[in-house]
Structure 1
Protein backbone atom coordinates (compact mmCIF):
# COMPACT_ATOMS: atom_id res chain seq x y z
CA UNK A 1 0.00 0.00 0.00
CA UNK A 2 2.87 2.37 0.73
CA UNK A 3 4.08 1.82 -2.84
CA UNK A 4 0.78 3.31 -4.06
CA UNK A 5 0.50 6.21 -1.62
CA UNK A 6 4.08 7.35 -1.00
CA UNK A 7 4.47 9.51 -4.15
CA UNK A 8 1.25 11.40 -3.44
CA UNK A 9 2.39 12.44 0.01
CA UNK A 10 4.69 14.94 -1.73
CA UNK A 11 3.07 18.34 -2.35
CA UNK A 12 4.20 18.86 -5.95
CA UNK A 13 3.01 15.37 -6.92
CA UNK A 14 -0.36 16.11 -5.35
CA UNK A 15 -0.63 19.27 -7.45
CA UNK A 16 0.41 17.29 -10.52
CA UNK A 17 -2.34 14.76 -9.81
CA UNK A 18 -5.01 17.44 -9.45
CA UNK A 19 -3.73 19.17 -12.57
CA UNK A 20 -3.90 15.94 -14.52
CA UNK A 21 -7.43 15.23 -13.24
CA UNK A 22 -8.65 18.65 -14.38
CA UNK A 23 -6.92 18.32 -17.74
CA UNK A 24 -8.44 14.85 -18.20
CA UNK A 25 -11.93 16.24 -17.67
CA UNK A 26 -11.35 19.12 -20.10
CA UNK A 27 -9.85 16.85 -22.74
CA UNK A 28 -12.73 14.38 -22.36
CA UNK A 29 -15.26 17.08 -23.23
CA UNK A 30 -13.39 18.24 -26.33
CA UNK A 31 -11.69 14.98 -27.28
CA UNK A 32 -14.96 13.06 -27.59
CA UNK A 33 -16.01 15.28 -30.49
CA UNK A 34 -12.51 15.08 -31.97
CA UNK A 35 -12.73 11.27 -32.05
CA UNK A 36 -16.33 11.10 -33.27
CA UNK A 37 -15.70 13.61 -36.09
CA UNK A 38 -12.28 12.28 -37.09
CA UNK A 39 -10.49 15.55 -36.25
CA UNK A 40 -7.25 14.10 -34.89
CA UNK A 41 -5.12 15.82 -37.54
CA UNK A 42 -6.76 19.14 -36.66
CA UNK A 43 -5.99 18.59 -32.99
CA UNK A 44 -2.36 17.86 -33.81
CA UNK A 45 -2.13 20.94 -36.02
CA UNK A 46 -3.65 23.21 -33.38
CA UNK A 47 -1.39 21.90 -30.65
CA UNK A 48 1.74 22.62 -32.70
CA UNK A 49 0.27 25.92 -33.88
CA UNK A 50 0.63 27.31 -30.36
CA UNK A 51 4.41 27.62 -30.78
CA UNK A 52 4.56 31.14 -32.33
CA UNK A 53 2.51 32.73 -29.55
CA UNK A 54 4.38 30.91 -26.81
CA UNK A 55 7.74 31.79 -28.37
CA UNK A 56 6.83 35.47 -28.73
CA UNK A 57 5.57 35.61 -25.15
CA UNK A 58 8.81 34.08 -23.90
CA UNK A 59 10.90 36.37 -26.10
CA UNK A 60 9.30 39.52 -24.70
CA UNK A 61 8.94 38.24 -21.13
CA UNK A 62 5.17 37.90 -21.32
CA UNK A 63 2.74 35.29 -20.04
CA UNK A 64 3.12 32.02 -21.97
CA UNK A 65 -0.56 31.19 -21.47
CA UNK A 66 -1.60 34.47 -23.10
CA UNK A 67 0.68 33.72 -26.04
CA UNK A 68 -0.81 30.24 -26.37
CA UNK A 69 -4.35 31.67 -26.33
CA UNK A 70 -3.42 34.19 -29.05
CA UNK A 71 -2.05 31.43 -31.28
CA UNK A 72 -5.11 29.27 -30.63
CA UNK A 73 -7.37 32.14 -31.69
CA UNK A 74 -5.37 32.61 -34.89
CA UNK A 75 -5.49 28.88 -35.66
CA UNK A 76 -9.23 28.67 -34.96
CA UNK A 77 -9.98 31.69 -37.14
CA UNK A 78 -7.70 30.40 -39.90
CA UNK A 79 -9.27 26.93 -39.97
CA UNK A 80 -12.77 28.47 -39.96
CA UNK A 81 -12.02 30.86 -42.84
CA UNK A 82 -10.16 28.31 -44.99
CA UNK A 83 -12.89 25.75 -44.33
CA UNK A 84 -15.36 28.06 -46.06
CA UNK A 85 -13.16 28.44 -49.15
CA UNK A 86 -14.69 26.16 -51.81
CA UNK A 87 -11.48 25.60 -53.77
CA UNK A 88 -9.43 24.46 -50.77
CA UNK A 89 -10.24 21.25 -48.91
CA UNK A 90 -10.31 21.36 -45.13
CA UNK A 91 -7.32 19.02 -44.82
CA UNK A 92 -5.31 21.22 -47.18
CA UNK A 93 -6.11 24.34 -45.18
CA UNK A 94 -5.27 22.66 -41.89
CA UNK A 95 -2.00 21.34 -43.31
CA UNK A 96 -0.98 24.77 -44.58
CA UNK A 97 -1.77 26.42 -41.26
CA UNK A 98 0.05 23.64 -39.41
CA UNK A 99 3.26 24.07 -41.42
CA UNK A 100 3.02 27.85 -41.48
CA UNK A 101 2.50 28.32 -37.75
CA UNK A 102 5.09 25.70 -36.81
CA UNK A 103 7.64 27.25 -39.18
CA UNK A 104 6.98 30.71 -37.77
CA UNK A 105 7.45 29.40 -34.25
CA UNK A 106 10.75 27.73 -35.12
CA UNK A 107 11.96 30.95 -36.79
CA UNK A 108 11.16 32.93 -33.65
CA UNK A 109 12.87 30.34 -31.46
CA UNK A 110 15.95 30.38 -33.70
CA UNK A 111 16.38 34.11 -33.11
CA UNK A 112 17.37 33.50 -29.50
CA UNK A 113 19.77 31.09 -27.84
CA UNK A 114 17.84 31.08 -24.56
CA UNK A 115 14.90 28.97 -25.66
CA UNK A 116 16.32 25.47 -25.13
CA UNK A 117 14.61 24.83 -21.81
CA UNK A 118 11.41 26.70 -22.74
CA UNK A 119 11.06 24.80 -26.01
CA UNK A 120 11.55 21.48 -24.24
CA UNK A 121 8.83 22.42 -21.77
CA UNK A 122 6.56 23.48 -24.64
CA UNK A 123 7.03 20.19 -26.46
CA UNK A 124 6.96 17.79 -23.51
CA UNK A 125 5.40 19.77 -20.65
CA UNK A 126 6.27 19.59 -16.96
CA UNK A 127 3.40 18.14 -15.00
CA UNK A 128 5.44 18.15 -11.79
CA UNK A 129 5.79 21.95 -11.99
CA UNK A 130 2.04 22.64 -11.66
CA UNK A 131 1.39 25.55 -9.31
CA UNK A 132 -1.68 26.48 -7.30
CA UNK A 133 -2.54 29.28 -9.74
CA UNK A 134 -2.35 26.74 -12.57
CA UNK A 135 -4.94 24.63 -10.78
CA UNK A 136 -7.19 27.68 -10.48
CA UNK A 137 -6.87 28.43 -14.20
CA UNK A 138 -7.56 24.80 -15.06
CA UNK A 139 -10.66 24.90 -12.86
CA UNK A 140 -11.91 27.98 -14.72
CA UNK A 141 -11.13 26.34 -18.06
CA UNK A 142 -13.10 23.25 -17.01
CA UNK A 143 -16.12 25.37 -16.09
CA UNK A 144 -15.96 27.14 -19.45
CA UNK A 145 -15.58 23.85 -21.34
CA UNK A 146 -18.47 22.30 -19.41
CA UNK A 147 -20.70 25.33 -20.11
CA UNK A 148 -19.89 25.29 -23.84
CA UNK A 149 -20.44 21.53 -23.99
CA UNK A 150 -23.85 21.73 -22.31
CA UNK A 151 -25.10 24.72 -24.31
CA UNK A 152 -23.76 23.43 -27.61
CA UNK A 153 -24.50 19.73 -27.12
CA UNK A 154 -27.53 19.61 -29.44
CA UNK A 155 -25.79 21.54 -32.19
CA UNK A 156 -22.60 19.46 -31.86
CA UNK A 157 -24.64 16.25 -32.09
CA UNK A 158 -26.41 17.35 -35.26
CA UNK A 159 -23.16 18.58 -36.76
CA UNK A 160 -21.47 15.24 -36.04
CA UNK A 161 -24.19 12.80 -37.10
CA UNK A 162 -26.33 14.75 -39.60
CA UNK A 163 -25.00 18.15 -40.78
CA UNK A 164 -27.91 18.58 -43.22
CA UNK A 165 -30.43 18.16 -40.44
CA UNK A 166 -28.50 20.67 -38.36
CA UNK A 167 -28.98 23.24 -41.13
CA UNK A 168 -32.65 22.34 -41.51
CA UNK A 169 -33.27 22.74 -37.78
CA UNK A 170 -31.61 26.16 -37.81
CA UNK A 171 -28.74 25.06 -35.56
CA UNK A 172 -26.22 27.07 -37.60
CA UNK A 173 -23.64 24.32 -38.28
CA UNK A 174 -20.93 26.80 -39.30
CA UNK A 175 -21.19 28.58 -35.97
CA UNK A 176 -21.31 25.24 -34.16
CA UNK A 177 -18.14 24.16 -35.97
CA UNK A 178 -16.38 27.39 -34.98
CA UNK A 179 -17.44 26.96 -31.34
CA UNK A 180 -16.26 23.35 -31.43
CA UNK A 181 -12.87 24.54 -32.71
CA UNK A 182 -12.75 27.04 -29.85
CA UNK A 183 -13.51 24.23 -27.37
CA UNK A 184 -10.68 22.19 -28.88
CA UNK A 185 -8.36 25.18 -28.62
CA UNK A 186 -9.31 25.65 -24.98
CA UNK A 187 -8.48 22.02 -24.19
CA UNK A 188 -5.12 22.24 -25.95
CA UNK A 189 -4.15 25.54 -24.32
CA UNK A 190 -5.13 24.24 -20.90
CA UNK A 191 -3.15 21.04 -21.42
CA UNK A 192 0.03 22.06 -23.21
CA UNK A 193 1.93 23.21 -20.11
CA UNK A 194 0.98 19.98 -18.32
CA UNK A 195 1.95 17.35 -20.90
CA UNK A 196 3.30 19.49 -23.76
CA UNK A 197 2.08 19.81 -27.33
CA UNK A 198 3.69 16.58 -28.52
CA UNK A 199 1.89 14.60 -25.84
CA UNK A 200 -1.39 16.51 -25.53
CA UNK A 201 -3.08 14.26 -28.09
CA UNK A 202 -2.46 11.37 -25.71
CA UNK A 203 -5.04 12.77 -23.27
CA UNK A 204 -7.17 14.40 -25.96
CA UNK A 205 -7.70 11.33 -28.15
CA UNK A 206 -6.69 8.14 -26.34
CA UNK A 207 -9.25 8.26 -23.45
CA UNK A 208 -12.32 8.98 -25.67
CA UNK A 209 -11.14 6.35 -28.17
CA UNK A 210 -10.71 3.87 -25.30
CA UNK A 211 -14.20 4.69 -24.01
CA UNK A 212 -15.92 4.38 -27.39
CA UNK A 213 -16.49 0.58 -27.41
CA UNK A 214 -18.00 0.61 -23.92
CA UNK A 215 -20.28 3.66 -23.90
CA UNK A 216 -23.78 3.81 -25.37
CA UNK A 217 -24.11 7.58 -25.68
CA UNK A 218 -21.96 10.62 -26.30
CA UNK A 219 -22.30 11.69 -22.68
CA UNK A 220 -21.24 8.18 -21.66
CA UNK A 221 -18.13 8.46 -23.81
CA UNK A 222 -17.26 11.78 -22.16
CA UNK A 223 -17.71 10.43 -18.63
CA UNK A 224 -15.78 7.24 -19.27
CA UNK A 225 -13.05 9.16 -21.14
CA UNK A 226 -12.59 11.45 -18.13
CA UNK A 227 -12.22 8.41 -15.86
CA UNK A 228 -9.69 6.80 -18.24
CA UNK A 229 -7.69 10.03 -18.36
CA UNK A 230 -7.70 10.30 -14.59
CA UNK A 231 -6.58 6.69 -14.26
CA UNK A 232 -3.77 7.37 -16.75
CA UNK A 233 -2.75 10.42 -14.73
CA UNK A 234 -2.64 8.54 -11.44
CA UNK A 235 -0.90 5.50 -12.90
CA UNK A 236 1.51 7.59 -14.96
CA UNK A 237 2.61 9.67 -11.99
CA UNK A 238 2.98 6.53 -9.88
CA UNK A 239 5.12 4.76 -12.49
CA UNK A 240 7.12 7.90 -13.16
CA UNK A 241 7.95 8.22 -9.46
CA UNK A 242 9.14 4.64 -9.06
CA UNK A 243 10.79 4.22 -12.47
CA UNK A 244 12.33 7.72 -12.65
CA UNK A 245 10.80 8.45 -16.05
CA UNK A 246 9.43 11.68 -17.53
CA UNK A 247 6.07 12.25 -15.85
CA UNK A 248 4.14 13.82 -18.74
CA UNK A 249 5.36 11.25 -21.25
CA UNK A 250 4.54 8.40 -18.87
CA UNK A 251 0.99 9.70 -18.39
CA UNK A 252 0.45 10.01 -22.15
CA UNK A 253 2.00 6.59 -22.84
CA UNK A 254 -0.25 4.96 -20.24
CA UNK A 255 -3.31 6.65 -21.77
CA UNK A 256 -2.40 5.18 -25.18
CA UNK A 257 -1.77 1.78 -23.57
CA UNK A 258 -5.24 1.89 -22.00
CA UNK A 259 -6.68 2.54 -25.46
CA UNK A 260 -5.08 -0.62 -26.84
CA UNK A 261 -6.14 -2.65 -23.82
CA UNK A 262 -9.69 -1.34 -24.13
CA UNK A 263 -10.01 -2.33 -27.77
CA UNK A 264 -8.37 -5.70 -27.13
CA UNK A 265 -10.86 -6.40 -24.35
CA UNK A 266 -13.72 -5.17 -26.53
CA UNK A 267 -12.67 -7.49 -29.34
CA UNK A 268 -12.56 -10.47 -26.99
CA UNK A 269 -15.96 -9.57 -25.59
CA UNK A 270 -17.56 -9.43 -29.03
CA UNK A 271 -16.02 -12.75 -30.02
CA UNK A 272 -17.68 -14.38 -27.02
CA UNK A 273 -21.07 -12.74 -27.54
CA UNK A 274 -21.89 -11.90 -31.13
CA UNK A 275 -20.10 -11.09 -34.38
CA UNK A 276 -21.93 -7.79 -34.68
CA UNK A 277 -19.82 -4.77 -35.48
CA UNK A 278 -19.84 -2.15 -32.70
CA UNK A 279 -21.61 1.06 -33.69
CA UNK A 280 -20.98 4.64 -32.81
CA UNK A 281 -22.66 5.83 -29.61
CA UNK A 282 -26.20 7.00 -30.15
CA UNK A 283 -27.05 10.67 -30.20
CA UNK A 284 -28.45 11.71 -26.84
Structure 2
Protein backbone atom coordinates (compact mmCIF):
# COMPACT_ATOMS: atom_id res chain seq x y z
CA UNK A 1 0.00 0.00 0.00
CA UNK A 2 1.34 3.46 -0.89
CA UNK A 3 0.43 4.98 2.48
CA UNK A 4 2.82 2.61 4.22
CA UNK A 5 5.72 4.48 2.60
CA UNK A 6 7.01 7.40 4.72
CA UNK A 7 7.30 9.98 1.95
CA UNK A 8 3.75 9.22 0.78
CA UNK A 9 2.52 9.60 4.37
CA UNK A 10 4.16 13.02 4.52
CA UNK A 11 2.60 13.91 1.17
CA UNK A 12 -0.84 12.90 2.45
CA UNK A 13 -0.51 14.93 5.65
CA UNK A 14 0.81 17.91 3.68
CA UNK A 15 -2.12 17.69 1.28
CA UNK A 16 -4.63 17.59 4.15
CA UNK A 17 -3.05 20.63 5.81
CA UNK A 18 -2.99 22.49 2.49
CA UNK A 19 -6.64 21.57 1.98
CA UNK A 20 -7.51 23.11 5.35
CA UNK A 21 -5.68 26.37 4.61
CA UNK A 22 -7.15 26.58 1.11
CA UNK A 23 -10.65 25.90 2.47
CA UNK A 24 -10.36 28.79 4.92
CA UNK A 25 -9.18 31.21 2.22
CA UNK A 26 -10.87 29.73 -0.84
CA UNK A 27 -14.38 29.88 0.62
CA UNK A 28 -14.23 33.67 0.70
CA UNK A 29 -12.66 33.76 -2.76
CA UNK A 30 -15.61 31.76 -4.14
CA UNK A 31 -18.28 33.72 -2.26
CA UNK A 32 -16.83 37.08 -3.33
CA UNK A 33 -16.24 36.02 -6.94
CA UNK A 34 -12.47 36.60 -6.61
CA UNK A 35 -11.36 33.59 -8.65
CA UNK A 36 -9.35 35.68 -11.12
CA UNK A 37 -7.52 37.38 -8.25
CA UNK A 38 -6.72 33.99 -6.74
CA UNK A 39 -5.31 32.78 -10.04
CA UNK A 40 -3.25 35.95 -10.48
CA UNK A 41 -1.90 35.70 -6.92
CA UNK A 42 -0.87 32.10 -7.50
CA UNK A 43 1.08 32.99 -10.63
CA UNK A 44 2.43 36.13 -8.98
CA UNK A 45 4.67 33.94 -6.80
CA UNK A 46 6.87 32.96 -9.72
CA UNK A 47 9.31 35.94 -9.75
CA UNK A 48 10.11 35.64 -6.06
CA UNK A 49 10.45 31.86 -6.17
CA UNK A 50 12.60 32.02 -9.32
CA UNK A 51 14.88 34.71 -7.90
CA UNK A 52 15.28 32.83 -4.62
CA UNK A 53 16.18 29.69 -6.57
CA UNK A 54 18.77 31.47 -8.70
CA UNK A 55 20.32 33.12 -5.61
CA UNK A 56 20.18 29.93 -3.55
CA UNK A 57 17.85 31.48 -0.97
CA UNK A 58 14.78 30.10 0.79
CA UNK A 59 12.00 29.54 -1.77
CA UNK A 60 9.25 30.17 0.77
CA UNK A 61 10.64 33.59 1.64
CA UNK A 62 10.89 34.45 -2.05
CA UNK A 63 7.31 33.34 -2.58
CA UNK A 64 6.11 35.40 0.38
CA UNK A 65 7.92 38.52 -0.84
CA UNK A 66 6.53 38.12 -4.36
CA UNK A 67 2.99 37.49 -3.10
CA UNK A 68 3.21 40.51 -0.82
CA UNK A 69 4.30 42.66 -3.74
CA UNK A 70 1.43 41.32 -5.82
CA UNK A 71 -1.12 42.03 -3.08
CA UNK A 72 0.26 45.55 -2.59
CA UNK A 73 0.07 46.19 -6.33
CA UNK A 74 -3.53 45.01 -6.51
CA UNK A 75 -4.50 47.27 -3.60
CA UNK A 76 -2.63 50.31 -4.94
CA UNK A 77 -3.73 50.06 -8.57
CA UNK A 78 -7.29 49.35 -7.46
CA UNK A 79 -7.51 52.99 -6.37
CA UNK A 80 -6.54 54.38 -9.80
CA UNK A 81 -9.51 56.00 -11.48
CA UNK A 82 -10.55 54.74 -14.89
CA UNK A 83 -9.10 51.25 -14.41
CA UNK A 84 -11.32 48.30 -13.53
CA UNK A 85 -10.20 45.77 -10.94
CA UNK A 86 -9.96 43.02 -13.56
CA UNK A 87 -7.72 45.20 -15.73
CA UNK A 88 -5.23 45.92 -12.96
CA UNK A 89 -5.18 42.30 -11.82
CA UNK A 90 -4.68 41.10 -15.40
CA UNK A 91 -1.78 43.49 -15.99
CA UNK A 92 -0.07 42.48 -12.75
CA UNK A 93 -0.72 38.82 -13.52
CA UNK A 94 0.97 38.91 -16.92
CA UNK A 95 3.75 41.20 -15.71
CA UNK A 96 4.71 39.03 -12.72
CA UNK A 97 4.48 35.82 -14.72
CA UNK A 98 6.69 37.27 -17.47
CA UNK A 99 9.31 38.47 -15.00
CA UNK A 100 9.35 35.04 -13.37
CA UNK A 101 9.89 33.22 -16.66
CA UNK A 102 12.67 35.67 -17.62
CA UNK A 103 14.46 35.03 -14.33
CA UNK A 104 14.08 31.25 -14.61
CA UNK A 105 15.34 31.34 -18.22
CA UNK A 106 18.76 32.39 -16.90
CA UNK A 107 18.99 29.18 -14.90
CA UNK A 108 20.96 26.28 -16.39
CA UNK A 109 18.15 23.89 -15.52
CA UNK A 110 15.39 26.07 -17.00
CA UNK A 111 12.92 23.29 -17.88
CA UNK A 112 13.35 21.43 -14.58
CA UNK A 113 13.09 24.58 -12.45
CA UNK A 114 10.03 25.90 -14.29
CA UNK A 115 8.27 22.54 -14.03
CA UNK A 116 8.94 22.44 -10.29
CA UNK A 117 7.66 25.98 -9.78
CA UNK A 118 4.48 25.41 -11.76
CA UNK A 119 3.57 21.88 -10.64
CA UNK A 120 5.32 21.42 -7.28
CA UNK A 121 6.54 18.13 -5.82
CA UNK A 122 4.25 16.85 -3.11
CA UNK A 123 6.29 13.65 -2.74
CA UNK A 124 9.34 15.70 -1.69
CA UNK A 125 7.66 17.25 1.37
CA UNK A 126 9.90 17.20 4.46
CA UNK A 127 9.08 17.14 8.15
CA UNK A 128 9.99 20.84 8.41
CA UNK A 129 7.45 21.62 5.68
CA UNK A 130 4.76 19.86 7.69
CA UNK A 131 5.53 22.00 10.73
CA UNK A 132 5.23 25.15 8.60
CA UNK A 133 1.94 23.96 7.13
CA UNK A 134 0.58 23.18 10.60
CA UNK A 135 1.51 26.68 11.85
CA UNK A 136 -0.02 28.26 8.73
CA UNK A 137 -3.22 26.25 9.25
CA UNK A 138 -3.51 27.41 12.85
CA UNK A 139 -2.84 31.02 11.83
CA UNK A 140 -5.38 30.89 9.03
CA UNK A 141 -7.96 29.44 11.40
CA UNK A 142 -7.32 32.23 13.92
CA UNK A 143 -7.62 34.99 11.30
CA UNK A 144 -10.79 33.42 9.89
CA UNK A 145 -12.37 33.22 13.34
CA UNK A 146 -11.48 36.76 14.38
CA UNK A 147 -12.45 38.27 11.03
CA UNK A 148 -15.49 36.12 10.33
CA UNK A 149 -18.16 38.79 10.87
CA UNK A 150 -16.25 41.34 8.78
CA UNK A 151 -15.58 38.83 6.02
CA UNK A 152 -19.28 37.98 5.81
CA UNK A 153 -20.25 41.63 5.53
CA UNK A 154 -17.49 42.27 2.99
CA UNK A 155 -18.62 39.35 0.85
CA UNK A 156 -22.21 40.52 0.49
CA UNK A 157 -22.64 44.22 1.28
CA UNK A 158 -19.62 46.53 1.54
CA UNK A 159 -21.78 49.60 2.21
CA UNK A 160 -23.48 47.88 5.11
CA UNK A 161 -20.09 46.90 6.45
CA UNK A 162 -19.17 50.60 6.45
CA UNK A 163 -22.40 51.45 8.26
CA UNK A 164 -21.81 48.83 10.93
CA UNK A 165 -18.25 50.05 11.49
CA UNK A 166 -16.68 46.76 10.43
CA UNK A 167 -13.80 48.50 8.62
CA UNK A 168 -14.09 46.80 5.22
CA UNK A 169 -10.68 48.07 4.03
CA UNK A 170 -8.96 46.37 6.94
CA UNK A 171 -11.07 43.25 6.38
CA UNK A 172 -10.10 43.25 2.71
CA UNK A 173 -6.42 43.56 3.65
CA UNK A 174 -6.75 40.65 6.09
CA UNK A 175 -8.50 38.59 3.44
CA UNK A 176 -5.72 39.31 0.95
CA UNK A 177 -3.23 38.28 3.63
CA UNK A 178 -5.13 35.05 4.24
CA UNK A 179 -5.17 34.33 0.52
CA UNK A 180 -1.45 35.08 0.30
CA UNK A 181 -0.63 32.67 3.14
CA UNK A 182 -2.73 29.91 1.56
CA UNK A 183 -0.99 30.27 -1.80
CA UNK A 184 2.53 30.64 -0.40
CA UNK A 185 2.37 27.55 1.83
CA UNK A 186 0.65 25.49 -0.87
CA UNK A 187 2.86 26.14 -3.89
CA UNK A 188 5.55 23.72 -2.71
CA UNK A 189 2.99 20.92 -2.59
CA UNK A 190 1.10 21.42 -5.86
CA UNK A 191 2.93 24.32 -7.53
CA UNK A 192 1.84 27.82 -8.46
CA UNK A 193 -0.22 26.59 -11.40
CA UNK A 194 -2.17 23.89 -9.60
CA UNK A 195 -2.71 25.57 -6.22
CA UNK A 196 -5.58 27.42 -7.86
CA UNK A 197 -7.40 24.08 -8.22
CA UNK A 198 -7.30 23.34 -4.48
CA UNK A 199 -8.14 26.94 -3.67
CA UNK A 200 -11.31 27.09 -5.79
CA UNK A 201 -12.60 23.58 -6.55
CA UNK A 202 -13.28 22.28 -2.99
CA UNK A 203 -15.22 25.39 -1.83
CA UNK A 204 -17.11 25.45 -5.13
CA UNK A 205 -17.98 21.78 -4.60
CA UNK A 206 -19.20 22.38 -1.05
CA UNK A 207 -21.19 25.54 -1.78
CA UNK A 208 -23.55 23.56 -4.05
CA UNK A 209 -24.78 21.58 -1.06
CA UNK A 210 -24.07 23.65 2.04
CA UNK A 211 -26.44 26.16 3.59
CA UNK A 212 -24.10 27.99 5.98
CA UNK A 213 -20.62 29.45 5.51
CA UNK A 214 -18.95 27.33 8.26
CA UNK A 215 -20.42 24.27 6.54
CA UNK A 216 -18.91 25.41 3.25
CA UNK A 217 -15.49 25.76 4.90
CA UNK A 218 -15.74 22.34 6.57
CA UNK A 219 -17.00 20.73 3.37
CA UNK A 220 -14.19 22.31 1.36
CA UNK A 221 -11.61 20.90 3.78
CA UNK A 222 -13.14 17.43 3.48
CA UNK A 223 -13.29 17.61 -0.33
CA UNK A 224 -9.69 18.83 -0.51
CA UNK A 225 -8.53 16.03 1.79
CA UNK A 226 -10.44 13.47 -0.28
CA UNK A 227 -8.90 14.84 -3.47
CA UNK A 228 -5.45 14.50 -1.90
CA UNK A 229 -6.05 10.91 -0.83
CA UNK A 230 -7.55 9.78 -4.14
CA UNK A 231 -4.99 11.77 -6.14
CA UNK A 232 -2.06 10.14 -4.36
CA UNK A 233 -3.56 6.67 -4.86
CA UNK A 234 -4.13 7.27 -8.57
CA UNK A 235 -0.66 8.76 -8.94
CA UNK A 236 0.94 5.77 -7.19
CA UNK A 237 -0.83 3.11 -9.26
CA UNK A 238 -0.89 4.90 -12.62
CA UNK A 239 2.48 6.61 -12.42
CA UNK A 240 1.11 10.12 -12.95
CA UNK A 241 2.38 13.43 -11.53
CA UNK A 242 1.15 13.58 -7.94
CA UNK A 243 0.42 17.32 -7.68
CA UNK A 244 -1.39 17.47 -11.00
CA UNK A 245 -3.41 14.35 -10.15
CA UNK A 246 -4.52 15.85 -6.82
CA UNK A 247 -5.65 19.07 -8.51
CA UNK A 248 -7.39 17.16 -11.31
CA UNK A 249 -9.21 15.00 -8.75
CA UNK A 250 -10.48 18.14 -7.00
CA UNK A 251 -11.85 19.41 -10.32
CA UNK A 252 -13.50 16.05 -11.07
CA UNK A 253 -15.17 16.07 -7.65
CA UNK A 254 -16.57 19.52 -8.36
CA UNK A 255 -18.11 18.50 -11.69
CA UNK A 256 -19.47 15.29 -10.17
CA UNK A 257 -21.06 17.28 -7.35
CA UNK A 258 -22.56 19.85 -9.71
CA UNK A 259 -23.95 17.12 -11.96
CA UNK A 260 -25.46 15.24 -9.01
CA UNK A 261 -27.14 18.41 -7.78
CA UNK A 262 -28.55 19.08 -11.22
CA UNK A 263 -29.84 15.55 -11.77
CA UNK A 264 -31.55 15.24 -8.41
CA UNK A 265 -33.15 18.69 -8.67
CA UNK A 266 -33.37 18.90 -4.94
CA UNK A 267 -30.61 21.37 -4.16
CA UNK A 268 -31.55 25.02 -4.25
CA UNK A 269 -28.79 27.60 -4.92
CA UNK A 270 -26.68 27.90 -1.78
CA UNK A 271 -25.83 31.59 -2.02
CA UNK A 272 -29.28 32.97 -1.04
CA UNK A 273 -29.11 30.93 2.16
CA UNK A 274 -25.60 32.13 2.80
CA UNK A 275 -26.78 35.69 2.23
CA UNK A 276 -29.44 35.24 4.89
CA UNK A 277 -26.73 34.09 7.24
CA UNK A 278 -24.83 37.26 6.37
CA UNK A 279 -27.80 39.35 7.45
CA UNK A 280 -28.04 37.42 10.71
CA UNK A 281 -24.32 37.83 11.36
CA UNK A 282 -24.66 41.58 11.00
- Runs (4 or more) in structure 1 with deviation over 6 Å come to none
Q: Is the 8 A contact 2:208 2:269 kept in 1?
A: no
Q: Tell me, in whole angstroms, the C-alpha distance in 2 between the residues paired with 1:277 and 1:19.
A: 32
Q: Tell me, in whole angstroms, the C-alpha distance in 1 between the residues paired with 2:104 and 2:67.
A: 18
Question: Which residue of structure 2 lines up, in the alignment, with residue 87 of structure 1?
Answer: 82
Give the CA RMSD over aligned residues: 1.3
Question: Which residue of structure 2 lines up, in the alignment, with residue 253 of structure 1?
Answer: 248
Check 1:124–1:57 CA distance in 2 against 1; reply closer, same or farther (3 A cut). Answer: same
Q: Tell me, in whole angstroms, the C-alpha distance in 1 between the residues paired with 2:105 and 2:270.
A: 48
Question: Which residue of structure 1 lines up, in the alignment, with residue 196 of structure 2?
Answer: 201
Query: 1:134-192: CA deviations, max 9, x gaps?
Result: 00000011111111101111111000011110011111111111111111111000111
Check 1:277–1:36 CA distance in 2 against 1; reply closer, same or farther (3 A cut). Answer: closer
Query: 1:110-136: CA deviations, max 9, x gaps?
Result: 223233322211100111001000000
Q: How many residues align?
A: 276
Query: 1:34-58: CA deviations, max 9, x gaps?
Result: 1111111111111111111011101
Q: Tell me, in whole angstroms, the C-alpha distance in 2 between the residues paired with 1:256 and 1:37.
A: 20
1:96 aligns with 2:96: no
User: Alpha-carbon deviation of 1:76?
Assistant: 0.8
The structure where helix makes up a greater share of residues is 2
Query: Could you tell me the TM-score, scaled by structure 2's length?
Result: 0.95
Question: Which residue of structure 2 lines up, in the alignment, with residue 190 of structure 1?
Answer: 185
Question: Which residue of structure 1 lines up, in the alignment, with residue 154 of structure 2?
Answer: 159
Instruction: Please list every run of 5 or more consecutive structure 1 residues that lacks an aligned counterpart in the other structure.
Output: 1-5
Residue range with higher mean Cα deviation, 68-77 or 87-96: 87-96
User: Alpha-carbon deviation of 1:7?
Assistant: 0.6
Superposed, 1:133-148 pairs within 5 Å as 133-148=128-143
Question: Which residue of structure 2 lines up, in the alignment, with residue 262 of structure 1?
Answer: 257
Query: Could you tell me the TM-score, scaled by structure 1's length?
Result: 0.94
Superposed, 1:197-236 pairs within 5 Å as 197-236=192-231
1:14 aligns with 2:22: no
Q: Tell me, in whole angstroms, the C-alpha distance in 1 between the residues paired with 2:220 and 2:49.
A: 28
